[in-house]
Amino acid sequence: MTGSRVVEAVRLAGYVYGCTVGWVWGGLLSRGRIERRGRLWVFRGMPGWAYPRGGVCVGHCFLTGDGRIDDRLIAHESVHERQWRRYGFLMPVLYALAGRDALRNRFEIEAGLEDGNYLPRRRRAGQG
């Protein structure tokens, strides 16, 4: 197996591990609706102590309470899902090293601070 294949296998294993943790965590603690939104599985009704801020993306699982989930938030969390696919096992470590300040965290900036409700949302072209 070549070095790049090993890296790809480890990255994929980390993503699958994250998805498994998300499903177990969400499956045990969610008291709300579970739905698929694109590549994401959204687990609603999580207790507040089980996730930071407005929710957390673990693999392809978005774990949250009962707050408003709109298309822009799903777009934001979908970027985090792609980050999990890209970094695998390293995602939680890299995210933690990026810091708790969302305005300076490169993962939150990449996902979109407005869409993630870290900044007031401006109207987009075509929105009523």
Which pLDDT score, from 0 to 100, does residue 40 have?
Answer: 98
Q: Average pLDDT over the chain, rounded to whole?
A: 94
In this prediction the pTM is 0.92
Residue 10 three-state SS:
helix
Across the range 78-93, mean pLDDT stands at 97
Per-residue pLDDT of 113-126, as tens digits, reads 999 999 999 876 66
Which among 54, 58, 50 is positioned nearest to 102, based on CA atoms? 54
The full DSSP string for 64-105 is E-SS---HHHHHHHHHHHHHHHHHTTHHHHHHHHH-S-TTT-
Q: What number of other Cβ atoms are within 10 A of residue 3's Cβ?
A: 7
Which pLDDT score, from 0 to 100, does residue 1 have?
Answer: 72
